[in-house]
A and B are shown apart, each in its own frame.
Chain A
Amino acid sequence: MLIPCPHCGLRPSEEFTPKGLAEAPRPVIGGADLPEDATWQDYLHTRTNRAGDTDEYFHHALGCRSWVVVHRNTLTHEVYGATMASEFWAQKNQQPEQETGQ
Chain B
Amino acid sequence: MSARLPQPNRLESGGIINRDRPVIFTFDRRVYQGFEGDSLASALLANGVKLFGRSFKYHRPRGILGAGPEEPNALVEVDHGPAERDPNHRATMLEIYEGLETFSQNHFGPLGMDVMEVNDLISRFLPAGFYYKTFFFGGLQAWYRLYEPIIRRAAGLGRPPLAADPHHYEKIYTHADTLIVGGGIAGLTTALSLAKAGQSVVVCEERDRMGGSALWQGETFDGQSGADYVNHLCAEIEAAGGRVLPRTTVFGVYDAGTFGAVERCHDHLAKADRRPHTARMKYHRIQARNIVYATGAIERSVGFKGNDRPGVMLASAGHTFLGKYGVRVGERATVFTTHDGGYGTAAALAQAGAAVTVLDARAEANVVIDGVTVIKGVYAKQAHGRMGLRRVDYDGASNGSLDTDSLLVAGGWNPAVHLTSHTTDRRQSKPVYDPEMLAFLPPELVETEAAAGSVTGAMSTADCLTSAQAAGKKLGGKAVALPTVASALPVSKPMEMWAVPGAGDAAFLDMQNDATVKDIKLSAQEGFKSVEHMKRYTTLGMATDQGKTANVTGLALLAAATGRDIAQVGTTTFRPPYTPIPVGALAGHHRQRDYEPFRYSPIHAWAEANGATFMEAGLWMRPAYYTRPGDKTWLDSAVRETKATRDSLGITDVSTLGKIDIQGPDAAEFLNRLYTNGWKTLPVGKARYGLMLREDGLVFDDGTTSRLADNHFYMTTTTAHAAGVMAHMEFMHQSAWPDLRVAFGSVTDQWGGLALAGPQARACLAKLFPDLDVTNDGLPFMGVLETQWNGFTARIFRISFSGELAYEVAVPADVFEAFWLEALRVGAEWDITPYGLEALNIMRIEKGHVTGAELDGRVSMDDVGLGKMVSTKKDFVGRAMSQRAAFADPDRAKMVGLVAAKPDDKIIGGGILFASADGPFDHTTMLGYVTSVAQYSPLKDRSIALAFIKNASDWHGKTLYVVSHVHGKSIMEVHAESPHFYDPKNEKVMS
Residues of A within 8 A of B (CB): 1-2, 12, 17, 19, 22, 25-27, 29-30, 32-35, 37, 40, 43-44, 57, 59, 61, 65-67, 75-79, 84-90
Contacts and interface: CB of A to CB of B under 8 A. Distances in A.
Interface in B941-968: none
14 contacts: A25-B736, A26-B695, A26-B735, A29-B874, A35-B883, A35-B884, A43-B695, A59-B730, A65-B730, A76-B425, A76-B428, A78-B426, A79-B255, A86-B735
A26 B673 CA distance: 13
Contacts of B425: 75-77
A29 B731 contact: no
Given A17-B727, A33-B875, A35-B883, A87 B738 contact: yes
A79 B256 contact: yes
Interface-central residue, B426, B734, B874, by most chain A CB under 10 Å = B734
Contacts of B736: 25-26
Interface string B730-753: 111111101000000000000000
Given A35-B697, A76-B426, A86 B734 contact: yes
A1 B881 contact: no
B169 to A, nearest CB: 18
B696 interface: yes
A1 B255 contact: yes
B256 A67 contact: no
Contact of A40 (B254, B426, B880): B880
A88 B258 contact: no
B875 A35 contact: no
A32 B881 CA distance: 11
B882 to A, nearest CB: 8
B309 interface: no
Contact of B695 (A44, A59, A76): A44
B668 to A, nearest CB: 15
Contacts of A37: 880
B879 interface: yes
A30 B876 CA distance: 11
Contacts of A29: 673, 874-875
A87 B254 CA distance: 30
Nearest to A88: B735
Nearest to A43: B695
Given A33-B875, A33-B880, 19 more contacts: A1-B258, A2-B287, A26-B695, A26-B736, A29-B673, A29-B875, A30-B875, A35-B881, A35-B885, A59-B727, A76-B425, A77-B255, A78-B426, A79-B256, A85-B735, A86-B735, A87-B738, A89-B735, A90-B738
A1 to B, nearest CB: 5
Interface of B: 254-258, 287, 425-426, 428, 673, 695-697, 727, 730-736, 738, 874-875, 879-881, 883-885
A95 to B, nearest CB: 17
Given A30-B875, A35-B884, A84 B734 contact: yes
B876 to A, nearest CB: 9
Contacts of A87: 738
B725 to A, nearest CB: 13
Contacts, number: 80
B881 A44 contact: yes
Contact of B731 (A12, A57, A89): A57
Contacts of A88: 735
Contacts of B255: 1-2, 77, 79
Contacts of A59: 727, 730-731
Contacts of A1: 254-256, 258
A29 B733 CA distance: 14
Given A2-B256, A44-B881, A78-B426, A67 B697 contact: no
A19 B731 contact: yes
Of B255, B428, B696, B879, most buried by chain A (CB within 10 Å of CB) is B255
Contacts of A22: 735
A102 to B, nearest CB: 23
Contacts of B884: 35
Contacts of A75: 425
Contacts of A85: 731, 734-735, 738
A26 B254 CA distance: 34
Contacts of A76: 425-426, 428
Contacts of B254: 1
B770 to A, nearest CB: 42
Contacts of A84: 734
A82 to B, nearest CB: 13
Contacts of A35: 697, 880-881, 883-885
A34 B883 contact: yes
Contacts of B875: 29-30, 33
Nearest to B426: A76
A29 B695 CA distance: 13
Contacts of B880: 27, 32-35, 37, 40
A57 to B, nearest CB: 7
Nearest to A25: B736
Contacts of A25: 735-736
Nearest to A57: B735
A42 to B, nearest CB: 12
A73 to B, nearest CB: 9
Most chain A CB inside 10 Å of its own CB: which residue of B256, B426, B883: B256
A66 to B, nearest CB: 7
A44 B625 CA distance: 43
Nearest to A75: B425
A1 B425 CA distance: 13
Contacts of A86: 733-735, 738
A57 B730 CA distance: 12
A27 B881 CA distance: 12
Contacts of A2: 255-258, 287
A83 B151 CA distance: 55
Nearest to A31: B875
A62 to B, nearest CB: 11
A18 to B, nearest CB: 12
B881 A40 contact: yes
Determine which residue in A35, A44, A77, A79 has the highest number of CB atoms from chain B within 10 A of its CB, and name it. Answer: A35
Nearest to B877: A26
A87 B287 CA distance: 30
A79 B426 CA distance: 11
A5 B727 CA distance: 17
Nearest to A77: B255
Contacts of B428: 76
Contacts of B735: 22, 25-26, 57, 67, 85-86, 88-89
A14 to B, nearest CB: 9
